[in-house]
């Protein structure tokens, strides 16, 4: 059964347009989830809204939205007033520009979506837009309205389809200087950097998400299975926290030694092989001298 489309509309590049559908590219369906329950009855609990001052339960017809102007002082916003500022969706992804992918700061990337043609009639126009982007090696920037909010979306080819990723707005990002300004600039020796570089080389590889293992999720599933079958859960003994006081140079050397132990162990064999070859040469020269003497 095909997944249900999250959004339907039109992808447009100047006068070229085609119907498309959006599907969320991620899912949390496989994650283990827990519900709040009553320990005495085993029944699931439901949440209620409580007035923070009176403690009374607030019924649904009494609930409203308010913006906090100052501590404890709110201005109430009516649903009709919110509708007045909501952007009406025209269900169109109108491509505004194309930019090099390396210019998009990864911090702006938000939610990914798969974009596919909607129907056979849309395939030709969809393929033209997709393949043109492949040839130019560019990412399209467009605007789209999702859940009554306007978003900027970055679109790039992905296999036979397109990957659209909504982008955060600048006001949603924190300034890195706020967190990095207090980082000191110690004097690091060239030897330390070179040692660290060698460690990096021993761990060189390629990006393979298939190797990612969510060990906590696996442990949760095992825990639920054991508990449901009536088995007791043994709690682990708390381990000792390692000391943070280390000699940086020693730690680098030990790290490199640990990674390169096998290579180091091979050297004695090479020496023995060399010794055997030298002994053979001496024996050959000795035999030759005896023959010459005879």
The whole-model pTM stands at 0.73
In tens digits, what is the pLDDT along the chain, a chain of 294 residues?
A: 668 899 999 999 988 889 999 999 999 888 999 999 999 999 999 989 999 999 999 998 999 999 999 998 999 999 888 888 877 778 999 999 999 989 999 999 999 999 999 999 999 999 999 999 999 889 999 999 998 889 999 999 999 999 999 999 999 999 999 999 999 988 888 988 888 888 888 888 888 888 888 888 888 888 888 888 888 888 877 777 666 656 877 887 887 777 554 443 334 444 444 444 454 444 444 444 444 444
pLDDT of amino acid 244: 62
> What's residue 242's pLDDT?
65
H or E element at residue 13: strand 7-13
Report the distance separating Cα 111 and Cα 167, nearest Å. 8
pLDDT at residue 233, rounded to an integer: 82
CATH number for 7-27+87-172: choose from 2.60.300.12, 2.40.290.10, 3.40.50.720, 2.60.40.10: 2.40.290.10
Q: What is the pLDDT of residue 286?
A: 46
Q: pLDDT at position 147, please? A: 85
């Amino acid at each position: 059964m095909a997944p249900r489309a999250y959004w339907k509309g039109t992808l447009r590049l100047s006068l070229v347009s085609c119907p498309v559908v959006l599907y969320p590219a991620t899912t949390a369906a496989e994650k283990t989830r827990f519900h709040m329950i009553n320990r005495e009855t085993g029944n699931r609990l439901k949440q209620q809204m409580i007035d923070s001052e009176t403690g009374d339960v607030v019924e649904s017809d009494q609930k409203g939205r308010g913006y906090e102007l100052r501590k404890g002082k709110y201005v109430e916003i009516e649903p009709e007033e919110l509708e007045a500022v909501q952007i009406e969706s025209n269900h169109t992804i109108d491509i505004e520009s194309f930019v090099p992918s390396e210019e998009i700061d990864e911090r702006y990337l938000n939610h990914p979506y798969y974009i596919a043609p909607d129907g056979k009639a849309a395939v030709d126009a969809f393929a033209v837009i997709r393949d043109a982007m492949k040839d130019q090696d560019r990412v399209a920037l467009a605007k789209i309205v999702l859940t009554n909010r306007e978003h900027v979306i970055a679109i790039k080819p992905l296999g036979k389809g397109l990957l659209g990723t909504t982008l955060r707005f600048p006001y949603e990002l924190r300034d890195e200087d706020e967190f990095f300004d207090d980082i000191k600039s110690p004097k690091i020796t060239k030897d330390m950097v070179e040692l660290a570089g060698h460690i990096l080389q021993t761990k060189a590889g390629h990006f393979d998400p298939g190797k990612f293992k969510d060990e906590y999720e696996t442990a949760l599933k095992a825990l639920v299975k054991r508990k449901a079958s009536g088995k007791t859960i043994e709690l682990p003994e708390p381990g000792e926290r390692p000391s943070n006081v280390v000699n940086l140079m020693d730690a680098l050397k030990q790290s490199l030694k640990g990674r390169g132990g096998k290579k180091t162990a091979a050297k004695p064999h090479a020496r023995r092989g060399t010794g055997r070859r030298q002994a053979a040469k001496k024996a050959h020269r000795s035999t030759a001298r005896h023959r010459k003497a005879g």
